[in-house]
Amino acid sequence: MKLRMVMARAGVFLAALPAILAPRAACAQDVFLGDKLSITIGTPAGGGYDIYGRLAARHLGRFLPGNPTIVASNMPGAGSLIAANWLYNIAPKDGTAIAITQSATLFESLLGNRNAHLDATKLGWLGSLNDYTALAMVWATTPFASAQDTVRQEILVGAGGTSSDVTLWPNVLNALAGTKFKLVNGYPGTAAISLAMERGEVQGVVGDDFDSVRAGRQDWIAEKKVRFLLQLRTERHPDLPDTATGLELAKDDESRAVLRLLIERQKYGRNFIVPPGVKPEALATLRRAFAAMAKDPEFLREAERMRVTLNFVPGEVVAELVNDIHKAPRAVIERATKVLRAVDP
């Protein structure tokens, strides 16, 4: 009798063994990355990339083996190109160095920028926390009210480094859609341009992100301090149904195809990346961590308090889009290169 009871208990234990060992097997897939990681933000403090980068830095460690400390720091300059080049060529390739940069910057080498020493197809894409909707917006006291005003009248807009969104987009629209944006250069980022708009130094900005405005300058929308004239998307944003897209103003089919390519490269606009050469196991660990963080209740609560919009896209999906963009027709890439290099030789 006792022998049968022992055997029965052993059978129950063996039957349950796969469930007992499953969590350990899953954990074994994770790679220990160290006690300290970094997130380098390729823009100045206070802007949209900074908000998303620091939000991730406060939470990501909880989903990585060993619960490492994650330190966020800014490395602005040349529209994030300084940070992108550093990550690609100098940063440690063990998974401990992460960056968030202006998404368009990562395609600069494809589009003829000789100062861009990187290949976006070789980066490790961890995931994007949100889409990017670049806007052309003006201060409400200006006389501009619609997309058609952008092609009828000169509008004074703040701009930054030659490779920054707020410099490239107005020049791109001038070339491909016939807009009449006149740039005032030298502002270090969107936070500085926002102050300039409030002070009346400039009338507007082209290239700031809709969700960043909603998160960081809620009063602008609530009190109707600004007007949105254009959005840089392939289709209208659900919350901006009355704001025309840049594609609607394109001069011709060729210009529209080029503008579409330039918009698509920023579709997933809050990307986190690691350098080429990071081992597949480490890349997989980081991707799982980002995916887990993106649905974590504590992370979501803080994002809601900050009014940060989240729309997570896995790194594998982002990487697929990056590869597709690099396969665009050569004529479209060459025309896009010509347009961009006229702005940033």
- Reported as a single tens digit per residue, the pLDDT across 93-117 is 999 999 999 888 999 999 999 999 9
User: Does residue 225 carry a pLDDT above 80?
Assistant: yes
Which pLDDT belongs to residue 112? Answer: 92
User: Does residue 23 carry a pLDDT above 80?
Assistant: no
Task: Tell me the C-alpha distance between 143 and 138, whole Å.
Answer: 9
Q: Please give the sequence-ordered ranges of beta strands (E in DSSP) within the chain, or none if there are none.
A: 36-41, 69-74, 97-100, 124-128, 134-139, 155-158, 181-184, 204-209, 226-232, 271-274, 313-314
pTM of the model: 0.80
User: Does residue 291 carry a pLDDT above 50?
Assistant: yes
Query: Which tokens go with 284?
Result: 């997989």
User: Does residue 144 carry a pLDDT above 90?
Assistant: yes
Average pLDDT of span 294-303: 98
Which pLDDT belongs to residue 22? Answer: 41
User: Does residue 16 carry a pLDDT above 80?
Assistant: no
Which pLDDT belongs to residue 256? Answer: 97
Query: Which tokens go with 302?
Result: 């803080």
CB atoms within 10 A of CB 58: 14
Average pLDDT of span 197-223: 93
Query: Which tokens go with 9?
Result: 């208990």
CB atoms within 10 A of CB 233: 22
Which pLDDT belongs to residue 28? Answer: 47
36, 69, 98, 245, 260 from 281: Cα distances, Å: 18, 20, 15, 41, 35
User: Does residue 8 carry a pLDDT above 50?
Assistant: no
Q: What structural domains and CATH numbers belong to the chain?
A: 36-131+268-343 (3.40.190.150), 134-264 (3.40.190.10)
- Reported as a single tens digit per residue, the pLDDT across 36-71 is 999 999 999 988 899 999 999 999 999 999 999 999
Which pLDDT belongs to residue 194? Answer: 95
User: Does residue 279 carry a pLDDT above 90?
Assistant: yes
By three-state DSSP, how is residue 296 classified? Answer: coil
Which pLDDT belongs to residue 345? Answer: 62
Per DSSP, 244 falls in state: P
Which pLDDT belongs to residue 26? Answer: 41
Sequence length of the chain is 345
State what percent of residues in the chain have pLDDT above 70: 91
Task: Tell me the C-alpha distance between 299 and 317, whole Å.
Answer: 22
Average pLDDT of span 154-163: 88
Pick from 93, 96, 79: nearest CA to 123: 93
User: Does residue 6 carry a pLDDT above 70?
Assistant: no
